Amino acid sequence: MAHLILASSSPRRRELLEQLGLEFEIHSPDIDESIQNNETAQDYVQRLAFQKAYAILKNYPDAIVIAADTSVAIDDKIIGKPESKQHAFDIWQKISGRMHDVVTGVCVATRHQNVQSVVRTSVEFQHLSLIDMENYWATGEPLGKAGAYAIQGIAAQYIPRIEGSYSNVVGLPLHETVQLLKAVKVLN
């Protein structure tokens, strides 16, 4: 089996990749994640996935690196992760009672090639009352999460439907990741 590395410290991505039965190491890349001027959510996640993969690949040139980046967007504007309680409340007010997109860029890279995919899932978030927001914030779950929620956790109660890949919303679209691994001959 090839030396496989997941370029992420995300426990959710690790758990998702483990579901595939793959053996891999974890190395977290250190890259600048600033959004560039007029960068769409799709362009942003694709660029970051690529940069993460190559940041790891330069130290492990014989490896196959899986890298991903996930963002939440409304009208193709990236929402980001909450920096404070007020910021989380502002995010929830934007997504409350409407659909938003979860966009993930995935890059599988080797020394000789890279293949990429961008996956978009639409998520409906119910209208949240101030009490809902206070209660959800008190759980601690929204911290460090794109869009200030985790679909695989307590926030599932606020999401009546999604259109697209569930694993994408968690942080790694498994179907598309498998297709990329097949393209670089890691999987048959």
Q: How far apart are the first and last CA of the chain?
A: 12
User: Residues 30, 32, 69, 76: which is the catalytic one?
Assistant: 69
On whether the CB atoms of residues 84 and 133 are closer than 8 A, the answer is: no
- The Cα 143–Cα 160 span in angstroms is 22
On whether the CB atoms of residues 63 and 72 are closer than 8 A, the answer is: no
Residue 125 lies in a domain: yes
On whether the CB atoms of residues 173 and 117 are closer than 8 A, the answer is: yes
Q: Among this protein's residues, is 90 annotated catalytic?
A: no
Residue 130 lies in a domain: yes
Residue with tokens 């794109």: 146
- In this prediction, residues 2-18 reach a mean pLDDT of 92
**Residue-wise pLDDT tens digits, 114-135:** 999 999 999 999 999 999 999 9
- In this prediction, residues 98-106 reach a mean pLDDT of 97
Residue 188 lies in a domain: no
**Residue-wise pLDDT tens digits, 133-172:** 999 999 999 999 999 999 999 999 999 999 999 999 999 9
Domain limits for position 92 = 4-183
Total tally of structural domains belonging to the chain:
1
Residue 42 lies in a domain: yes
Q: Is the pLDDT of residue 1 over 70?
A: no
Can you give the CATH number for the domain in which 41 is found? 3.90.950.10
> What pLDDT score does 185 carry?
83
E-state strands within 63-147: 64-74, 77-78, 98-109, 114-125
- In this prediction, residues 51-71 reach a mean pLDDT of 96
Confidence band, pLDDT 50/70/90 cuts, at residue 75: confident
Which has more pLDDT, 75 or 24?
Answer: 24
Q: What is the pTM of this model?
A: 0.92
Residue 137 lies in a domain: yes
- Residue 14 φ/ψ, nearest 5 degrees: -60, -50
